[in-house]
Protein backbone atom coordinates (compact mmCIF):
# COMPACT_ATOMS: atom_id res chain seq x y z
CA UNK A 1 0.00 0.00 0.00
CA UNK A 2 1.18 3.52 -0.63
CA UNK A 3 2.12 5.68 2.32
CA UNK A 4 -0.91 7.67 3.56
CA UNK A 5 -0.78 11.40 3.09
CA UNK A 6 -0.31 13.50 6.20
CA UNK A 7 -3.22 15.63 7.39
CA UNK A 8 -1.36 18.76 6.30
CA UNK A 9 -0.69 17.44 2.81
CA UNK A 10 -4.28 16.23 2.52
CA UNK A 11 -5.68 19.66 3.41
CA UNK A 12 -3.21 21.34 1.06
CA UNK A 13 -4.04 19.14 -1.92
CA UNK A 14 -7.79 19.43 -1.32
CA UNK A 15 -7.42 23.21 -1.06
CA UNK A 16 -5.45 23.29 -4.31
CA UNK A 17 -8.11 21.32 -6.20
CA UNK A 18 -10.82 23.50 -4.66
CA UNK A 19 -9.01 26.67 -5.72
CA UNK A 20 -8.52 25.41 -9.28
CA UNK A 21 -12.17 24.46 -9.52
CA UNK A 22 -13.29 27.78 -8.05
CA UNK A 23 -11.17 29.80 -10.48
CA UNK A 24 -12.53 27.79 -13.41
CA UNK A 25 -16.09 28.31 -12.14
CA UNK A 26 -15.67 32.06 -11.78
CA UNK A 27 -14.17 32.39 -15.27
CA UNK A 28 -16.96 30.29 -16.77
CA UNK A 29 -19.51 32.38 -14.89
CA UNK A 30 -18.41 35.44 -16.88
CA UNK A 31 -19.88 33.94 -20.06
CA UNK A 32 -23.61 33.83 -20.92
CA UNK A 33 -25.64 30.63 -20.28
CA UNK A 34 -25.81 27.88 -22.87
CA UNK A 35 -29.24 27.60 -24.56
CA UNK A 36 -31.15 27.12 -21.28
CA UNK A 37 -31.10 29.89 -18.62
CA UNK A 38 -28.40 29.17 -16.05
CA UNK A 39 -26.91 26.25 -17.99
CA UNK A 40 -23.11 25.99 -17.94
CA UNK A 41 -20.56 23.45 -19.14
CA UNK A 42 -19.42 22.76 -15.57
CA UNK A 43 -15.70 22.76 -16.34
CA UNK A 44 -14.89 23.14 -12.65
CA UNK A 45 -15.92 19.49 -12.28
CA UNK A 46 -12.65 18.53 -13.96
CA UNK A 47 -10.87 19.01 -10.65
CA UNK A 48 -13.44 17.27 -8.45
CA UNK A 49 -13.43 14.21 -10.74
CA UNK A 50 -9.62 14.18 -10.75
CA UNK A 51 -9.64 14.44 -6.94
CA UNK A 52 -12.04 11.50 -6.73
CA UNK A 53 -9.81 9.24 -8.79
CA UNK A 54 -6.57 10.35 -7.18
CA UNK A 55 -7.57 10.76 -3.54
CA UNK A 56 -10.94 9.04 -3.05
CA UNK A 57 -14.55 10.01 -2.27
CA UNK A 58 -13.94 11.83 1.03
CA UNK A 59 -11.55 14.34 -0.51
CA UNK A 60 -13.70 14.70 -3.63
CA UNK A 61 -16.85 15.47 -1.61
CA UNK A 62 -14.88 18.04 0.40
CA UNK A 63 -13.68 19.69 -2.82
CA UNK A 64 -17.22 19.84 -4.25
CA UNK A 65 -18.73 21.20 -1.02
CA UNK A 66 -16.09 23.91 -0.61
CA UNK A 67 -16.18 24.89 -4.28
CA UNK A 68 -19.96 25.21 -4.49
CA UNK A 69 -20.14 27.21 -1.26
CA UNK A 70 -17.32 29.58 -2.16
CA UNK A 71 -18.51 29.82 -5.77
CA UNK A 72 -21.96 30.99 -4.69
CA UNK A 73 -20.44 33.58 -2.35
CA UNK A 74 -17.89 34.95 -4.82
CA UNK A 75 -20.37 34.95 -7.69
CA UNK A 76 -22.89 36.84 -5.56
CA UNK A 77 -25.58 34.24 -6.10
CA UNK A 78 -26.07 32.56 -2.73
CA UNK A 79 -29.73 31.85 -3.54
CA UNK A 80 -28.57 29.34 -6.17
CA UNK A 81 -26.47 27.43 -3.63
CA UNK A 82 -29.16 24.84 -3.02
CA UNK A 83 -29.21 23.91 -6.70
CA UNK A 84 -25.46 23.78 -7.21
CA UNK A 85 -24.86 21.98 -3.91
CA UNK A 86 -27.48 19.26 -4.38
CA UNK A 87 -26.53 18.81 -8.03
CA UNK A 88 -22.83 18.61 -7.21
CA UNK A 89 -23.30 16.17 -4.35
CA UNK A 90 -25.57 13.95 -6.44
CA UNK A 91 -23.05 13.90 -9.29
CA UNK A 92 -20.20 13.10 -6.91
CA UNK A 93 -22.20 10.31 -5.25
CA UNK A 94 -22.87 8.73 -8.65
CA UNK A 95 -19.22 9.18 -9.67
CA UNK A 96 -17.98 7.63 -6.41
CA UNK A 97 -20.13 4.53 -6.88
CA UNK A 98 -18.97 4.08 -10.47
CA UNK A 99 -15.29 4.72 -9.73
CA UNK A 100 -15.18 2.45 -6.69
CA UNK A 101 -17.22 -0.40 -8.18
CA UNK A 102 -16.74 -0.55 -11.94
CA UNK A 103 -13.77 1.68 -12.82
CA UNK A 104 -11.56 0.97 -14.80
CA UNK A 105 -13.92 -1.42 -16.58
CA UNK A 106 -15.71 1.75 -17.64
CA UNK A 107 -13.81 4.81 -18.78
CA UNK A 108 -13.39 8.14 -17.02
CA UNK A 109 -15.46 9.73 -19.77
CA UNK A 110 -18.35 7.34 -19.11
CA UNK A 111 -18.25 8.17 -15.40
CA UNK A 112 -18.18 11.88 -16.20
CA UNK A 113 -21.12 11.71 -18.62
CA UNK A 114 -23.34 9.79 -16.18
CA UNK A 115 -22.42 12.21 -13.39
CA UNK A 116 -23.14 15.29 -15.52
CA UNK A 117 -26.55 14.00 -16.57
CA UNK A 118 -27.37 13.16 -12.94
CA UNK A 119 -26.27 16.65 -11.89
CA UNK A 120 -28.57 18.36 -14.40
CA UNK A 121 -31.54 16.13 -13.61
CA UNK A 122 -31.19 16.74 -9.86
CA UNK A 123 -30.99 20.50 -10.36
CA UNK A 124 -34.12 20.37 -12.50
CA UNK A 125 -35.98 18.35 -9.87
CA UNK A 126 -34.92 20.75 -7.11
CA UNK A 127 -36.10 23.74 -9.14
CA UNK A 128 -39.50 22.11 -9.70
CA UNK A 129 -39.86 21.23 -6.01
CA UNK A 130 -38.92 24.71 -4.79
CA UNK A 131 -40.84 26.74 -7.37
CA UNK A 132 -43.77 24.34 -7.70
CA UNK A 133 -43.54 24.69 -11.48
CA UNK A 134 -43.91 21.25 -13.08
CA UNK A 135 -43.72 22.86 -16.52
CA UNK A 136 -39.97 23.15 -15.99
CA UNK A 137 -39.75 19.36 -16.39
CA UNK A 138 -40.00 20.08 -20.12
CA UNK A 139 -36.36 21.17 -19.92
CA UNK A 140 -35.29 17.66 -18.87
CA UNK A 141 -34.41 16.29 -22.36
CA UNK A 142 -32.34 19.39 -23.16
CA UNK A 143 -30.57 19.22 -19.81
CA UNK A 144 -29.79 15.55 -20.39
CA UNK A 145 -28.28 16.34 -23.80
CA UNK A 146 -26.28 19.19 -22.30
CA UNK A 147 -25.08 16.77 -19.63
CA UNK A 148 -23.85 14.39 -22.32
CA UNK A 149 -21.84 17.17 -23.94
CA UNK A 150 -20.42 18.68 -20.76
CA UNK A 151 -19.66 15.27 -19.27
CA UNK A 152 -17.75 14.24 -22.38
CA UNK A 153 -15.70 17.43 -22.29
CA UNK A 154 -14.92 17.11 -18.57
CA UNK A 155 -14.04 13.43 -18.94
CA UNK A 156 -11.78 14.09 -21.91
CA UNK A 157 -10.01 16.86 -19.97
CA UNK A 158 -9.36 14.58 -16.98
CA UNK A 159 -8.06 11.81 -19.26
CA UNK A 160 -5.74 14.32 -20.93
CA UNK A 161 -4.46 15.53 -17.55
CA UNK A 162 -3.67 11.96 -16.45
CA UNK A 163 -1.92 11.29 -19.74
CA UNK A 164 0.18 14.46 -19.97
CA UNK A 165 1.08 15.41 -16.40
CA UNK A 166 4.47 13.90 -15.42
CA UNK A 167 4.44 10.97 -13.03
CA UNK A 168 6.65 12.68 -10.44
CA UNK A 169 3.89 15.24 -9.83
CA UNK A 170 1.59 12.45 -8.65
CA UNK A 171 4.38 10.87 -6.63
CA UNK A 172 4.74 14.10 -4.65
CA UNK A 173 0.98 14.43 -4.16
CA UNK A 174 0.13 10.80 -3.40
CA UNK A 175 3.21 9.49 -1.63
CA UNK A 176 4.57 6.02 -2.26
CA UNK A 177 2.75 3.51 -4.45
CA UNK A 178 2.20 -0.15 -3.72
CA UNK A 179 5.06 -2.52 -4.43
CA UNK A 180 3.27 -4.14 -7.35
CA UNK A 181 2.55 -0.78 -8.94
CA UNK A 182 6.14 0.36 -8.38
CA UNK A 183 7.46 -2.71 -10.16
CA UNK A 184 5.12 -2.10 -13.06
CA UNK A 185 6.24 1.52 -13.24
CA UNK A 186 9.89 0.55 -13.17
CA UNK A 187 9.36 -1.97 -15.95
CA UNK A 188 7.38 0.27 -18.25
CA UNK A 189 8.40 3.89 -17.72
CA UNK A 190 10.73 5.55 -20.13
CA UNK A 191 11.96 8.12 -17.63
CA UNK A 192 10.79 10.18 -14.69
CA UNK A 193 8.59 12.29 -16.94
CA UNK A 194 6.32 9.37 -17.84
CA UNK A 195 2.66 10.02 -17.23
CA UNK A 196 0.14 8.35 -14.93
CA UNK A 197 -1.73 6.96 -17.89
CA UNK A 198 1.41 5.28 -19.18
CA UNK A 199 2.41 3.63 -15.91
CA UNK A 200 -0.46 1.66 -14.45
CA UNK A 201 -1.33 3.65 -11.34
CA UNK A 202 -4.71 2.70 -9.92
CA UNK A 203 -7.36 4.98 -8.52
CA UNK A 204 -7.63 5.82 -4.81
CA UNK A 205 -10.58 3.43 -4.50
CA UNK A 206 -8.42 0.62 -5.89
CA UNK A 207 -5.83 1.14 -3.16
CA UNK A 208 -8.39 1.52 -0.39
CA UNK A 209 -10.11 -1.73 -1.44
CA UNK A 210 -7.11 -3.73 -2.61
CA UNK A 211 -8.44 -6.92 -1.07
CA UNK A 212 -11.50 -6.69 -3.33
CA UNK A 213 -9.82 -5.51 -6.49
CA UNK A 214 -6.34 -7.01 -6.30
CA UNK A 215 -4.49 -6.47 -9.49
CA UNK A 216 -6.72 -3.62 -10.61
CA UNK A 217 -5.50 -2.01 -13.78
CA UNK A 218 -4.39 1.53 -14.41
CA UNK A 219 -5.87 4.81 -15.42
CA UNK A 220 -7.73 4.04 -18.65
CA UNK A 221 -6.39 6.23 -21.43
CA UNK A 222 -3.46 4.04 -22.55
CA UNK A 223 -4.40 0.73 -20.98
CA UNK A 224 -7.81 0.82 -22.61
CA UNK A 225 -6.18 1.19 -25.99
CA UNK A 226 -3.76 -1.66 -25.23
CA UNK A 227 -6.60 -3.98 -24.21
CA UNK A 228 -8.79 -2.97 -27.14
CA UNK A 229 -11.52 -1.52 -24.94
> What average pLDDT does the chain have?
75
Residue 163: Cβ within 10 Å count: 15
Using only C-alpha atoms, what is the Rg of the chain?
18
For position 77, what pLDDT does the model report?
76
Task: Tell me the C-alpha distance between 101 and 64, whole Å.
Answer: 21
CB neighbour list of residue 205: distance below 8 Å, 6 or more residues apart? 56, 57, 96, 99, 100, 103, 213
Same-domain check for residues 27 and 84? yes
pLDDT tens track for 184-197: 333 333 444 444 54
Domain count for the chain: 2
CATH code of residue 59: 1.10.1760.20
Task: For residue 186, give its domain range.
Answer: 167-227
Does one domain contain both 47 and 105?
Answer: yes
- Cβ contact 53:203 at 8 Å: yes
The SS3 of residue 111 is helix
pLDDT, tens digit, for every residue of 89-121? 999 999 999 998 988 888 899 999 999 999 989
Q: Which pLDDT value is given to residue 66? A: 93
Query: What ranges in 31-105 are assigned the alpha helix state H?
Result: 45-55, 57-74, 81-101
| pLDDT at residue 68 greater than cutoff 60 | yes
Domain boundary among 123, 141, 164: 164
Structural domain contains residue 2: no
1 assigned to some structural domain: no
Q: Is 4 left (phi over 0), alpha (psi -120 to 50) or beta?
A: beta
**Residues 98, 118: contact at Cβ < 8 Å?**
no
pLDDT at position 160 over 50:
yes
* Contact status, residue 206 vs residue 101, Cβ threshold 8 Å: no
Higher pLDDT, 220 or 149: 149
Q: Report cis status (omega within 30 of 0) of the bond before 104.
A: yes
Residue-level pLDDT at 206: 57
pLDDT-derived band at 72 (thresholds 50, 70, 90) equals: confident
Residue 23 confidence (pLDDT): 93
Amino acid sequence: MRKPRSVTKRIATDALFTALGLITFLIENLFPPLIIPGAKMGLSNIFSLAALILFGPVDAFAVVAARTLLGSVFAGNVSALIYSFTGGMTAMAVSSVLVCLVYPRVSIMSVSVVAAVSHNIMQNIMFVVITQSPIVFSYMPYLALLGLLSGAIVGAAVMLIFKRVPLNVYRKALGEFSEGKSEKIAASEGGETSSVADNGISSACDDENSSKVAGATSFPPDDERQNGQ
